[in-house]
Amino acid sequence: MSCGRPARDSELIQIVDSALAHAARKAGEWLVCRPGCTQCCIGAFAINALDAARLRTGFSELEQSDARRARRVRTRAQAYLQRVSAEFPGDPQTGMLYESDEAQAQFESFANDEVCPVLDPETGTCDLYAFRPMTCRVFGPPVRNDDGSLGVCELCFHGAGDKQIAACEMHPDPDGLEDEIVAEMSDQGARGRTIVALVLAK
């Protein structure tokens, strides 16, 4: 995952953020996501090469604008890895997650109680918010899972019925731009998935 951030990622971010804003307008008070709500910041999740490149770009900018904050992020990432490295279901040298069925099953219970190292524990906000992975950007509103079901944050949409929830569905990337960019990066040698802490610990 050594490729730089692709230029088209800015276009993707605009598309996804616009979709989020549209979904939030439809959801109104049912969508309770606010600064300080950290439900989606607990537990490990896999990120792709594009997410990793975006995070590196954001971290580099943070080092320039606020070196002390960047050091705190890196320190938290390193401490995170010290706690979970023994159970990491991937290659410890490359930081890539293994793709076998067994490894993916192991990842389901990996680091479930760990707080994302990018979360500032004092403010309850993300230190790299503008550069966060796609999983973070779509968490909250109703979004289709790979199996076709509609996933939604358990803190949101209390009192809403199934039809009301479905009416607020977010379509984050309708034309598949993320997949295109990730495929291009794979052709350039940036393959596999990792976790946030591994991107920022070095």
19-36: per-residue pLDDT in tens?
A: 999 999 999 999 999 888
- Going from N- to C-terminal start, the domains of the chain cover 9-200
Contact 33, 156 (CB under 8 A): yes
**What pLDDT does 162 receive?**
93
Residue segments in the chain with a per-residue pLDDT below the cut of 70: 1-3
Q: Is 90 helix (H, G, I), strand (E, B) or coil?
A: strand
C-alpha separations of 33 from 27, 48, 74, 138 in Å: 11, 24, 26, 11
**What pLDDT does 1 receive?**
47
Residues above pLDDT 90, as percent of the chain: 88
Cα distance between residue 191 and residue 3, in whole Å: 10
Q: Letter for the amino acid at 181?
A: I
Contact 184, 49 (CB under 8 A): no
Kind of pairing, strands 119-120 and 125-126?
A: antiparallel
Give residues with Cβ within 8 angstroms of 148, minimum separation 6.
none
Q: Is 165 helix (H, G, I), strand (E, B) or coil?
A: helix
Give residues with Cβ within 8 angstroms of 65, minimum separation 6.
none
**What pLDDT does 60 receive?**
97
Contact 1, 182 (CB under 8 A): no
Cα distance between residue 32 and residue 168, in whole Å: 14
**What pLDDT does 2 receive?**
53
**What pLDDT does 3 receive?**
66
Contact 84, 110 (CB under 8 A): yes
Express each pLDDT in 111-152 by its tens digit.
999 999 999 999 999 999 999 999 999 999 999 988 888 999
